[in-house]
Each structure stands twice: as C-alpha cells, then as structure tokens.
Structure 1
Amino acid sequence: MQTIRSINLQKNLGDVLRTADVETVLVTNRDQPRAVVMSAEEFIRLKTAAGEPVPNEVRKSSPTLHRRIADPLGYDTRDPGYVEQTASDALDGQHADEIAREIDKAMRRWRLR
C-alpha cells in the first residue's frame, strides 16, 4: 500500500488514481490515516464479499470502447462479472456469429488471413 500526505494529494491526483488501479493508497493528515483510495472494481469486490449492496453510482458505466466503437457483444468490462458471463455464453454457443466475425477481423488486421 502506498501512502501520500493529504497536502500533496491535489498536485499528485493523477498518479494517485493510476496507483489506485493497482493497489490501495493511504492518505494521511498530520501522520494520521485519513482516507483510503481504491479502484471502483476493488470497492465493488469488497462490498460484494461483505454481502453489502453496491451503490448504483459505482456500477454506472458505459460499454468499453475500442477505437470509439462499442463492444459488439455488449459486455460491460468494468463489471468483473462480465468474465464469467462471457465464458458461460461462449460455452453455451451464444454470440457464435459475432465472435467468428471478431476473430476474422482480428486475423485480417494481423494479416493472418
């Protein structure tokens, strides 16, 4: 866990947010713990593990964009549950045509077809 003094938080906010994507950041004031900064994904994981409701504002997100094109399968990759849903759908044969098209596009982009 990294630590930052509250007086330095504003000028280093970008670094703190990037660090919070990887690990929690402790914010101190006068050498006393004041706050903890963590990624939204970690917050969701902790709330879920504790059996507590996750506020809707935290779950609010838009589909992942790639080159300004929404995910063709519509999965919200900011919600960790999408991994299980994607795997389950693939095993059930759902989205087979869309997946085949995406694979074909990738293969062509990498000149493998």
Structure 2
Amino acid sequence: MQTIRSINLQKNLGDVLKAADVEAVLVTNREQPRAIVMSAEEFIRLKTAAGEPVPPEVRKSGPTLHRRPVDPLGYDTRDPSYGVRMAEDALNGRHSDEIEQEIDRAMSRWGMR
C-alpha cells in the first residue's frame, strides 16, 4: 500500500488517483493514518461484499462495459437496438428464467438485494 502525507496530497493528487486504481493509498497526517483513497470500483466491491447499500452517486452514470464478449442471453450488446429486442422477448416470455437470474445478479452487484 502506498502512503502519502496529507500536506503533499493536493500537489500529487493525479498520481494518487492513478495509484488508487491499482491499490488503496493511505493518507497520513502527522504520521498517523488519516484516510484511505481507493477506486470507486473497489469501494463498490467492498460495500457489496459487506451487504451494504452502495450510494447512488458512486455508481457510474455512463454505460457499463462488460468484460464478457457475449451477453449471457445471446444479445449483441454492441448494437444499441438490442434493448428493443430484449424488451420484446421479455414481454413475450422468452428467456424469462435467464432474465430473472441476470436481474438477481445485477441487483446483488449493486447492493440492492
């Protein structure tokens, strides 16, 4: 874990934020632990793992990037119109079990279940 003195935090903020993407950074004041700087993703992971709600302002407001190349329901998520097909399928009862499982996984990830 990297450590930075609070007096140096402002002039090195960019470096601290880059470091926080990799691991938490300890901020000290008069050689005493004062705060921890971590990525939003790590904060969300810790809150979710603890079963605590994630504050809405911490969640990303933009589109979520999936590391999986294929959607679990088989939709091509690179095509924006997949949402319409997904909604039609949901209304027609297609993939209902898979959709419910995906909703459960998402709600758990967001700390809402």
Q: Could you say which TM-score interval applies, normalised by the shorter chain?
A: 0.5 to 0.7
Tell me by how many angstroms 1:61 deviates: 2.0
Per-residue CA shift, 1:56-113, capped at 9, x if unaligned?
00004213xxxxxxxxxxxx12xxxx446x64x2x43212883xxxxxxxxxxxxxxx
Match of 2:76 among 95, 98, 105: 95
TM-score normalised by length of structure 2: 0.63
> What SS does structure 2 have at the residue aligned with 1:47?
helix
Determine whether 1:23 maps to 2:23. yes
Q: Distance between the aligned counterparts of 1:5 and 1:24, measured in 2?
A: 14
Q: 1:59 to 1:96 in 2, by over 3 A?
A: closer
Q: Distance between the aligned counterparts of 2:7 and 2:73, measured in 1?
A: 53
Match of 2:51?
A: 51
> What SS does structure 1 have at the residue aligned with 2:22?
coil
TM-score normalised by length of structure 1: 0.63
What do you get for the CA RMSD once the two structures are aligned?
A: 2.0
Q: Distance between the aligned counterparts of 2:77 and 2:57, measured in 1?
A: 33
Unaligned ranges ≥5, structure 1: 64-75, 99-113
**Percent of aligned pairs sharing the same letter:** 73
Q: Distance between the aligned counterparts of 1:18 and 1:97, measured in 2?
A: 29
Match of 2:32?
A: 32
Unaligned ranges ≥5, structure 2: 80-113
Instruction: Give the aligned length.
Output: 79
